[in-house]
A = this chain, B = another copy of it.
Amino acid sequence: MSIHLRPSQALRLWQQTSLAEVRAGGPDLTERQIAILLTIYLDPPPHTVRGLAEKLGVTKPVITRALDTMGALKFVSRHRDERDRRNVLIRRTVDGALFVERLGDVVVAKAAELPL
């Protein structure tokens, strides 16, 4: 039983959610940053810079910079992999989990308000 959405509903949902996020005054993340953040929180760990770069189809510095920004926001944290010290493991944080959880709630709420 999959989710059925018409294009007009999908766009309205996207607009209402974006609008709510902007108005809430939180950080103005880019689409890349959102994709990275959600991947870290939804896909099973471990997450590495290279792995994320491949999954998103972007270069490594893009990931490094996004992690810098979201690390400053305390949405993610970095830790050296002790089993292979070349790797950096990206981990979730309490603040990041709260942010993602709240985002999910906003989408659900806006979906429920959607007109036919």
| Cross-chain contact A25 with B57 (CB below 8 angstroms) | yes
Q: Is A49 an interface residue (CB 8 A)?
A: no
Assuming the contacts A42-B11, A116-B1, asked whether A31 and B32 have C-beta atoms less than 8 A apart, the reply is no
Question: Which residues of B are found within 8 Å of A108, using beta-carbon distances?
Answer: 5-7, 10
**How far is B14's CA from A100's CA once the two chains are assembled, in angstroms?**
11
**How far is B108's CA from A22's CA once the two chains are assembled, in angstroms?**
23
| Cross-chain contact A111 with B11 (CB below 8 angstroms) | no
Interface size on A, residues (CB 8 A): 48
One complex includes copies of this chain to the number of 2
Q: Mark A78-110, 1 if CB is under 8 A from B, else 0.
A: 000000000000000000000011011101100
**How far is B22's CA from A72's CA once the two chains are assembled, in angstroms?**
23
- A-B CB proximity, top 9 nearest: A10-B107, A7-B104, A15-B38, A18-B35, A3-B111, A11-B104, A23-B57, A5-B111, A10-B104
Interface positions of A (Cβ within 8 A of B): 1-15, 18-19, 21-23, 25, 28-32, 34-35, 38-39, 41-42, 55-58, 100-101, 103-105, 107-108, 111-114, 116
